[in-house]
Amino acid sequence: MRVLQTVALTTSTLAAGLMAGLFAAFAYAVMPGLARSGDHAFVQVMQNINRAIINGWFLLPFLLPLPLLLLAAFLAGDGPNAGAVRFWVIAALVLYVAAFLVTGTQNVPLNEALDKVAALASDRDGLAAARAAFEEAWVRWNTVRALLHATAFGCTAWALHLHG
């Protein structure tokens, strides 16, 4: 049981770190870089990113921590630090679920709306309107999920440390 909990905690920690890094990179590099682009480039690149990101390399670290954190909390047992480990695992799980909900209720609907926009260079007003409806809200919610994932990463790392 201890080995399984260690694997669950380690894998969750790595996955939460990957997600925190991905969303943070969008916050401090990708979106500021795209902000310097014209509307056509912005819409086209975001559409391409949103289509390309749905793959196993993204979905595995995005989804796997949810069941693994539940398993780690269940397997915390009754060792010397079991209560503290369970607390930090549950804290990470709550943060991870919150980040998952932000993605599903905020970022994904914005992505889907932007995906429906025809990225025609001749429709400057339409591209400008699509970008205006997307960019500020998406950046705001991406920052929220980056912070939630980073904090979940910290919680899982601390739980792993306490677990030994």
Rounded CA separation 107/86 (Å): 30
Average pLDDT over residues 49-72: 94
* Structure confidence at residue 69 (pLDDT): 93
Closest CA to 29 of 113, 105, 134, 143: 143
Average pLDDT over residues 26-30: 98
End-to-end Cα spacing for the chain: 14
> Among the residues of 53-107, which ranges form H helices?
56-63, 65-74, 82-102
* Structure confidence at residue 87 (pLDDT): 96
pLDDT band at 91 (very low <50, low <70, confident <90, very high): very high
* Structure confidence at residue 1 (pLDDT): 78
Q: Are 75 and 8 in contact (CB under 8 A)?
A: yes
Please tell me whether residue 114 adopts helix, strand or coil conformation. helix
Query: What Å distances lie between residue 127 and 5, 10, 37, CA to CA?
Result: 49, 44, 12
* Structure confidence at residue 2 (pLDDT): 84
User: Over 80: is that where the pLDDT of 79 sits?
Assistant: no
Among 34-48, 51-65, 119-133, the range scoring the smallest mean pLDDT is 119-133
* Structure confidence at residue 118 (pLDDT): 82
* Structure confidence at residue 101 (pLDDT): 98
Q: What one-character DSSP code corresponds to residue 29?
A: I
- The mean pLDDT value of the chain amounts to 94
Average pLDDT over residues 53-61: 95
* Structure confidence at residue 136 (pLDDT): 98
pLDDT tens per residue, range 95-143: 999 999 999 999 999 999 999 998 665 688 889 999 999 999 999 999 9
